[in-house]
Structures are given as C-alpha cells and as structure tokens.
C-alpha cells in the first residue's frame, strides 16, 4: 500500500508539473502575442501619420520636425501612461488592462511618427529586422538560461532612469555626442532588460501557477507584454539613431 501511494504521488507530481509547463507555454505565447499586436498598432499609427504631411503637421513642423505644443504632449504622454498603468493595474480588469495597453501602443505610434520623415524607409525596415533578431535571441536566452539574473534588475532600472534624465536634458542641449552615448548605453541596457524581463515573467508565472487566480495571471501577462514591448521599442529607437540613414 505504501508503495502504491508513493507511485500515485509521483504520478500526480509529474502530471502537475506537466500542467504547469503547458500553462507556462500558453502564458508566454499570450505575452508575446499581446506584445506583437501592440507593435503592429504602434507602427501602423506611426506610418499612417508619418507619411501624411497633413496629419504630421498636427504634431510637428513637417520640414524641421520641431514639435508644437500638441507634439510635446504626445512625446511625453507614453511615459505618463506607463506610470499611470502601474498605479491603476490593480483597479483594472484584465480586459481593461489590455485595452489600456493597446491605447498606449497607439499613442506611442503618434510619438514615433516623425521617424518616417527623418529616416529612409529601407533603413527603418533594416533596423527593425536587426532589432527583431536581437530581441528574439535575448528573450530566448532569458527564458532558457539556468542562471539567475534577477540581480540585474536594480542596476538596469537605475540605468533606465539615467537614460530618461539624460534624454530630457539633451532635448534642450541638442548635443550629438550625448545622443550617441545615450544610444550606445541604451542598446546595452534594454538588451539586458529583455533577458531580465523574460526570466522575470517566467518566474512570476511559476511562483503563482498553483494559486489559480486567472484574472491576476492575465493582468500579469499584460504587464509582461508591456515590459517587453518597451524594451523592443527603445532598443529599436537607439539602433535607429546609431545606424539609420537619414532622408
């Protein structure tokens, strides 16, 4: 009888582990799918506005690309929305959080529309492809590595804060040297964050999989999609600043 109970317990443990693995794959697939839809929205809005002088002129001077008042609002709106999303996530339903994410992605598209005037279409596509390959490799490494990289988090977040402060200062200074340094450091920081966030999304799911709170898991997945989305967008923009061919 003891042997039978031991076999039954082992079988149940294997079945439970298999169920968690299947749930993890479904969770990660949803995270990447949500992120991908957000990316499509961002680039669709950016392309639609950036290739239309009439629409772009609502936010920027079509020739100098200098932002007007509405352009400044659109430029800083995504940053404000990220902080607002983090503060409101507990009060939102999973459907509400997902809608907020898609609205955020659309607003981000408005803020990036100028790149379709400043850079050639070929270089945008080329940098997007390079970013996609790098992102996929980094995210895969973060998912599969046995190394605990949770310690990277505080260092990388401090780096992001430094980049934001330096970028705001350089808006007024307009220094090419500072922009170059921001872009180089930004690529490294967001590359690290891609691996870190992927591992964190995985570990968060594994830590809460036994609780069965589907609503919480759904919102956690959307927050994960937002993190990876931001890493991709920022890495893309940094690489575009470094290697994009200007019109």
Which tens digits make up the pLDDT trace of 167-224?
Answer: 888 888 888 898 999 999 999 999 999 999 999 999 988 887 776 667 778 888 899 9
DSSP 148: -
Q: How many CA atoms lie within 13 A of 151 on its CB side?
A: 2
pLDDT of residue 11: 47
What pLDDT was estimated at residue 236? 96
Beta-carbon contacts of 128 under 8 Å, excluding residues fewer than 6 positions away, are: 43, 236
Kindly write down the DSSP assignment for every residue of 29-89, as one continuous string: HHHHHHHHHHHHHHHHHHHHHHT-HHHHTTTB-TTT--B-HHHHHHHHHHHHHHHHHHHHG
d(CA 49, CA 192): 31
Residue 178: closest CA among 241, 123, 131: 241
Q: What is the mean pLDDT of residues 112-120?
A: 93
pLDDT greater than 50 at residue 15:
no
The domain spans of the chain are: 2-243
pLDDT at 48: 95
d(C-alpha 83, C-alpha 37), whole Å: 21
Predicted confidence at residue 13, as pLDDT, reads 44
Tens digits of per-residue pLDDT, 69-90? 998 999 899 989 988 887 778 7
Mean pLDDT within 1-25: 57
- Exposure string for 207-236, b = 16+ CB within 10 A, e = fewer: eebeeeeeeebbbbbbbbbbbbbbbbbbbb
pLDDT single digits (tens) 130-175: 999 999 999 999 999 999 898 888 899 999 999 989 988 888 888 8
Query: Quick check: 198 and 143 in contact, CB under 8 A?
Result: yes
Name beta bridge partners: 67: 60
Interval 28-81: pLDDT, tens: 999 999 999 999 999 999 999 999 999 999 999 878 888 899 989 998 999 899
Give the separation between CA 135 and CA 231, rounded to whole angstroms.
Answer: 9
pLDDT at 8 over 70: no
């Amino acid at each position: 009888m003891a042997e039978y109970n031991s076999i039954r317990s082992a079988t149940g443990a294997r079945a439970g582990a298999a169920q968690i693995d299947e749930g993890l794959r479904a969770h990660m697939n949803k995270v990447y799918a949500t992120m991908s839809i957000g990316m499509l929205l961002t680039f669709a809005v950016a392309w639609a506005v950036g290739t239309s002088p009439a629409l772009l002129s609502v936010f920027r001077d079509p020739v100098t690309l200098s932002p007007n008042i509405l352009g400044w609002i659109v430029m800083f709106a995504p940053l404000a929305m990220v902080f607002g999303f983090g503060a409101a996530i507990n009060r939102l339903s999973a459907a509400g959080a997902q809608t907020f994410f898609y609205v955020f992605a659309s607003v981000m598209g408005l803020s990036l529309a100028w790149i379709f005037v400043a850079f050639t279409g070929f270089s945008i596509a080329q940098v997007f492809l390079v970013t996609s390959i790098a992102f996929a490799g980094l995210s895969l490494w973060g998912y599969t590595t046995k190394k605990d990289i949770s310690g990277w988090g505080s260092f990388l977040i401090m780096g992001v804060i430094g980049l934001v402060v330096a970028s705001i200062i350089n808006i007024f200074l307009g220094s090419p040297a500072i922009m170059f340094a921001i872009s180089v450091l930004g690529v490294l920081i967001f590359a690290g964050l891609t691996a870190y966030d992927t591992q964190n999304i995985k570990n968060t799911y594994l830590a809460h999989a036994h609780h069965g709170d589907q609503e919480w898991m759904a919102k956690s997945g959307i927050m994960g999609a937002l993190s990876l989305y931001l890493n991709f967008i920022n890495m893309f923009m940094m690489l575009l600043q470094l290697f994009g061919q200007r019109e």
